[in-house]
Amino acid sequence: MSETEQSEWSVPERELMASIRERLDADGPAMLATVVDVRGSAYRRPGAKMVVSPTEGGVGAITAGCLEDEVRNLADRVIDDGEPTLETFDLTGDDDEWGLGVGCNGIIDLFLEPLDEGMRPAVEAYKAGEAITVATVVASDDEAVDVGERGYSDDFDGLPEEVGDAIRAADIERSRTIDVETDEGTVTTVFVDRIVPPTELVILGGGHDVAPVVDLALNVDFRVTVATFRGADRARERFPDADRVLSSSPRSLTDDVAFDGDTYVVVMSHNFIDDRLALADLLATDVPYVGLMGPQERFEQMIDEFEEEGEELGDLDPVYTPVGLDLGGGAPYQVAHSIVAEALAVKNGREGSHLRAVDGTVHDRAETPSETR
């Protein structure tokens, strides 16, 4: 795989969605491949996407490289026919075409469709920072329901009423397929795709050690804000890839940034007073994670000073200090890996332990029961 192909394969979701939007704007032929179901193990889960253009190649990944070439080969047919299709790839066997010992060891359903304006609401919602549910018919026994028909949250206009009712009743939080059975006995299989914009990571600080954290956080699909307490103009030059760079102060921080239950914060200004004041304000919000740079003794000193001043901090559970997972590294990027990995683990409700210690599946799996009208 060439360096260019590697970079196209491994792009963050935000870059993939931007690529889909750009190709819609260019109005050229392209195909969208989406993982809609997985039985057994697979590298990617339902909702993973890849966009393929005859002239520009592919961007994104639906496996670890097992099927990408085959998907590229199918793109011309799908684009020429102008018809969506559901393809199943069995990677579990030893002797069949796909049982190549590539590590997936699962059965993957891919929905291949010509990229058209039906994806426009999804990419626009993603760009605007809004979650959206996209429901697409991927198979149907009902002659009145065409494969490729699509509806969006919350009314799912464009789909049969019983399909929209079933989706709402299922209360789906994670992308998966559902079967909707009508009174006449026909079954429509719908892929319900929950597309959620990036989670916000706010980094308080402007030192040189912030740059690696910004870099890695962007690559794992955080939306990154850098808030410095000293000079935003210079900080913008230092962190050009951050989504936002602003100058604030510990006392105006919560006025300048909207902190909520989906905002993660790393405090690394290296200034004891600034960090202490910021921590007090952050703990008055709903943020689930405050990674505080510095040794445990530094944090205990902050707590002692708060107590001496009679200030109640409330719940300290969101505070992770010293910040980061215990990876053993001390170089800037090693420290940054530790910090970003911890924030990602907290975001995903994980402990950050070794996968070999996990009893069961690595990825959470959604149940796929049939929904009967």
Whether 8 has a pLDDT exceeding 70, the answer reads no
Comparing 94 with 86, which gets the higher pLDDT?
86
- pLDDT at position 372: 34
pLDDT class of 196 with cuts at 50, 70, 90: very high
Q: Are 327 and 334 in contact (CB under 8 A)?
A: yes
User: Across residues 170-196, what is the average pLDDT?
Assistant: 90
Specify the range with the lowest mean pLDDT, choosing from 132-146, 226-240, 309-323.
Answer: 226-240
pLDDT class of 72 with cuts at 50, 70, 90: confident
Quote the pTM value.
0.84
- pLDDT at position 370: 39
- pLDDT at position 40: 76
Q: 177-188: per-residue pLDDT in tens? A: 999 997 777 889
User: Across residues 222-228, what is the average pLDDT?
Assistant: 95
pLDDT class of 243 with cuts at 50, 70, 90: very high
Q: 125-156: per-residue pLDDT in tens? A: 999 999 999 999 999 998 889 999 999 998 89
Q: In terms of Cα–Cα distance, which of 299, 297, 307 is closest to 278?
A: 299
- pLDDT at position 232: 56
Q: Are 203 and 46 in contact (CB under 8 A)?
A: no
User: Across residues 231-244, what is the average pLDDT?
Assistant: 81
Comparing 71 with 209, which gets the higher pLDDT?
209
User: Across residues 306-315, what is the average pLDDT?
Assistant: 86
User: Across residues 96-103, what is the average pLDDT?
Assistant: 47
- pLDDT at position 62: 79
